[in-house]
Structure 1
Amino acid sequence: MAKDNGTVDWIVHILVKAVGGRIALIPWVFFVVTALLSGFGSVEPAAIAIIAPMGMGFSRRYGIRPLLMGLMVTNGATAGGFSPLSIFGTITNQVVERNDLPGSPLLLFLASFVFNVILGLVCFFLFGGREPLGKRDLGHGLEDKDGEPASGVGPGSADTGAGGSGGADGPAGGGPGGSPAPYHDPERRAARRSVQTTMVKDADEDVEITTFDLNRIVTLVGLIVLAVMVVPPLNQDVGFTAISIAVVISFFSPRISKGAVSKIAWPTALLVCGMGAPLFAALIICFIGAVVSAFASTTGILGALIPLAVPFLLTGSVSEIGLIIALAISSSVVDSSPFSTSGALVVANSPEDQRDKVFKQLMVWGFSMVVIAPIVTWLTFVVPGW
């Protein structure tokens, strides 16, 4: 519903304005928005399917590397993926509670969020995040920190593979015969401003995302109420509360809401019912989670692997909370693999001329996470014994 009535687009618009046109912060805007979506219960692939196309549009417009934007979107989805409201968090916490294990939903969420923020910083500096530092778009073209016209950032930059020719909406385009286009050309200024007034389809009419209408107000209030109702001291059932709020929202926008039910990932929701299997060792189970999740659904893997750890955890040999956190992070940060749903969505939404490159880079990054994430999380959360 939040996507269909334009609330998600409005949040993106507000956050882009909040960073003051700073190009280097735009990937972080999409990190935050995707984290919000997954944190409020959207399945990770669904959140990425909503945000990745918008993110790739911004990357083309401002010359941000598609790989960087894609990784920030996937890491953002994972960062919010273990909130008490989310699918991953619900699976993990219910399995822990069902097996009478000590757990901390808040610590699980915060540890996963901080880990993914740090991972986002690594991606930012590894994959070109420093290139647009100091560049801004204030609606009349890209400027550097001194207010001068910026170069090297935009669709015509070397990073985007456009050969420096630029486009109508880029900061480094060319005029007739390859000469630089006027910096204050009205068409180019209008194209840049379009990022701030993107149109979204609302039933049979176009509504600017800058419009804060009743539907969006009700949706935002509903999200806030949901967040308050399901945490202590209220501790209301997440599913019942979410459905109740959705019914209220649908009264205000029945035409928009009628299509939302069909977009719910019902197979994933039904998959959250109990599963069980034995366990062998803490580190091995983290590696199993990472390897399998790189090719399969993280939602299903978490529900299957955490019960595997129960016999091992009951021995008291390792920190129960530490192992659960390590397993949760190891199984989710590998979703940037192009063989997973999340990574495949990033590849599909990349510029066509860079799709093969993004696929190869995501494959290297995703499989490096298969090796690195289990070891780092095991050393950080399991070995210390806290």
Structure 2
Amino acid sequence: MSIEIIAIGVLLIIFVLGACLPINIGVWGFLAVFIVGSLVSDLSMDEIYGAFPVELFIIIVGITYLFTIIQKSGVVDLIADYGLRSVNGNLGLVPWLMFLLALVLAGVGTYGIAVVSLLAPIALKIAHKNKISPLMMGIMIIMGMQAGSFSPLNVFGVIINGGMQSRDLEYSPALLLINCLIYFGLVAMIVYLMFGGHRYFSNRPATLGITGFPVEAIKPDGNPVIGREGGLDLYKAACLAAIVVLGILTLKFDINIGFAAIIVGSALALLAPRKQEGVLKEMPWGVIFLVTGIVTYVNVMETVGVMTYVTGLISGMDNPLLASLAVSYVGGFVSAFASTTGFLASIIPIATPLLQDPDISSINIISSIAASSSIVDLSPLSSAGALLLANVQGIKERVFFRQLLITTGIFITLGPGLAWLLFVVIGGMF
């Protein structure tokens, strides 16, 4: 058996283990680095160390450090609370409010799981109190969160844009975000209408049933959801301003976004040093470990010639349109049972020959892959779906679990096809 087949087989095993076992797949990634790189391919340790994605590590650590500080300041909670008050009791607007809140919070860099952790208890309590479908409310949160997750400030956006840039592929962070906004907004609209959300516009109760924070809900780890405290103060205002400063440093002065985030985060830390306790502990180190482990293994695969081998396979498909459709469906299927973050980290190197095809836009292809692989995060087997399951009220957990699972199956079946139609077929006409 060739080294290329072995390396690809090991990657598939990693995703299967990640789906079946509660073990970070970054562990399996680093283990595969040693087995395939050292024992099978006989790479030197210097070559293996060189496969570690230093730049991507700095970017993810910097971004998550800054936005953990911002989230810990209470600014995120204030945004959510002000948003809830803005609908003035109009139930028809509440699902869209949840979509927009999730979009904004993820768009400014809040990690997706944190967004769902914040909004799910509120949204599902409102749904229970006012007899709104909890499934619709959960889908609206996930769709908004995923639309914002491809912002240049969020981990998903960082992975996609960094991967495209490192391989000199045509890419546009702004267009990726716009495409995802269109896709997930369209899916949210379809879901809203199918569940009859528009019928609630005539219902304007005095309260949404969200008084008395903290919300009576728990996270999957058993910890209570913490309530909101205080209004806007100088430190919270500085945290909001930090997002603007980050944009100026990266766009105007062309400073690496990871180092820029560390600079801004350090300034906030100096401004309120006593508020920094626990910041590093609350960073999503599991995600950081996962991404670096998978990307390091993918870089080893590239070193031993796997990408050249896959290039030949993809080049053998005469029709790039069908090739892009196939990759989109692979993304939707794999991500439903494994890590979306890990898949996004591995797919760009593998799909590089398709992305380099001059007859089809690389931006449109990567938009289709990104949307297809993230729409399925509603799955109860994923962290986001588990959070919805943990906070649902007024319905038996096994019933809601089945609803989430069926919906995930529908998204796997239709989601990649819709993304491919929107971006590759229709988008390719312009």
TM-score by length of 2: 0.70
Q: CA deviation at 1:302?
A: 0.6
Look up the SS of the partner of 2:202 in the other structure: coil
**Structure 2 match to 1:177:** none
Look up the SS of the partner of 2:100 in the other structure: helix
- Contact 2:122–2:215 (8 Å) recurs in 1: no
- Pair 127,319 (structure 1): closer, same or farther in 2 beyond 3 Å: same
Q: CA deviation at 1:194?
A: 4.1
How do 1:99-118 and structure 2 match up within 5 A? 99-118=167-186
CA distance in 1, matches of 2:215, 2:73: 14
CA distance in 2, matches of 1:28, 1:9: 18
**Structure 2 match to 1:222:** 242
- Contact 1:80–1:113 (8 Å) recurs in 2: yes
- Pair 209,135 (structure 1): closer, same or farther in 2 beyond 3 Å: farther
- Pair 283,269 (structure 1): closer, same or farther in 2 beyond 3 Å: same
**Structure 1 match to 2:76:** 8
- Contact 2:150–2:176 (8 Å) recurs in 1: yes
Instruction: Choose the corresponding residue for 2:396, options 354, 360, 367.
Output: 354
1:369 and 2:411 equivalent?
A: yes
CA distance in 1, matches of 2:401, 2:74: 30
**Structure 1 match to 2:131:** 63
How do 1:337-352 and structure 2 match up within 5 A? 337-351=379-393
1:21 and 2:84 equivalent?
A: no
Worse-superposed segment, 98-107 or 214-223: 214-223
- Contact 1:198–1:208 (8 Å) recurs in 2: no
- Contact 2:156–2:344 (8 Å) recurs in 1: yes
CA distance in 1, matches of 2:383, 2:228: 31
Q: CA deviation at 1:56?
A: 2.1
Residue identity opposite 2:284 in structure 1: A
Residue identity opposite 2:193 in structure 1: F
**Structure 1 match to 2:119:** 51
CA distance in 1, matches of 2:123, 2:145: 13
How do 1:178-197 and structure 2 match up within 5 A? 194=212
**Structure 1 match to 2:58:** none
How do 1:249-260 and structure 2 match up within 5 A? 249-260=268-279
Q: CA deviation at 1:27?
A: 2.1
Q: CA deviation at 1:227?
A: 3.5
1:5-33 residue CA offsets vs partner (Å, 9 max, x unmatched)? 32122111211222222122122222222
CA distance in 2, matches of 1:260, 1:57: 29
- Pair 98,52 (structure 1): closer, same or farther in 2 beyond 3 Å: same
- Contact 1:3–1:50 (8 Å) recurs in 2: no
How do 1:1-386 and structure 2 match up within 5 A? 1-137=69-205, 141=206, 194=212, 209=229, 211-230=231-250, 232-273=251-292, 274=295, 275=298, 277=307, 278=310, 280=314, 281-351=323-393, 353-384=395-426, 385=428, 386=430
Worse-superposed segment, 3-12 or 263-272: 263-272
Q: CA deviation at 1:95?
A: 1.1
**Structure 1 match to 2:39:** none
Structure with the larger helix share? 2
- Contact 2:327–2:369 (8 Å) recurs in 1: yes
- Pair 46,133 (structure 1): closer, same or farther in 2 beyond 3 Å: same
Q: CA deviation at 1:80?
A: 0.3
- Contact 1:330–1:373 (8 Å) recurs in 2: yes
CA distance in 1, matches of 2:170, 2:258: 23
CA distance in 1, matches of 2:384, 2:371: 15
- Contact 1:198–1:209 (8 Å) recurs in 2: no
- Pair 131,255 (structure 1): closer, same or farther in 2 beyond 3 Å: farther
Mark the runs of 5 or more structure 2 residues left unpaired by the alignment. 1-68, 217-225, 315-322
CA distance in 1, matches of 2:403, 2:116: 18
**Structure 2 match to 1:163:** none
CA distance in 1, matches of 2:154, 2:276: 21
Look up the SS of the partner of 1:63 in the other structure: coil
1:338-363 residue CA offsets vs partner (Å, 9 max, x unmatched)? 12221121111112633222222211
- Contact 2:183–2:419 (8 Å) recurs in 1: no
Instruction: Flag the structure with more relative contact order, 1 or 2, with Cα contacts below 8 A and sequence separation at least 6.
Output: 2
Q: CA deviation at 1:283?
A: 1.4
Q: CA deviation at 1:79?
A: 0.7
Residue identity opposite 1:268 in structure 2: V
Look up the SS of the partner of 1:212 in the other structure: coil
Q: CA deviation at 1:323?
A: 0.7
Q: CA deviation at 1:128?
A: 4.1
**Structure 2 match to 1:164:** none
1:141-165 residue CA offsets vs partner (Å, 9 max, x unmatched)? 35xxxxxxxxxxx7xxxxxxxxxxx
Residue identity opposite 2:417 in structure 1: I
Number of matched residues?
A: 328
1:125-178 residue CA offsets vs partner (Å, 9 max, x unmatched)? 2224234222224xxx35xxxxxxxxxxx7xxxxxxxxxxxxxx5xxxxxxxxx
Look up the SS of the partner of 1:17 in the other structure: helix
CA distance in 2, matches of 1:282, 1:212: 47
Residue identity opposite 1:5 in structure 2: S
- Pair 363,272 (structure 1): closer, same or farther in 2 beyond 3 Å: same
Mark the runs of 5 or more structure 1 residues left unpaired by the alignment. 143-153, 155-168, 170-191, 200-205
- Contact 1:323–1:381 (8 Å) recurs in 2: yes
1:318-377 residue CA offsets vs partner (Å, 9 max, x unmatched)? 321111110011011111121222112111111263322222221121111112121112
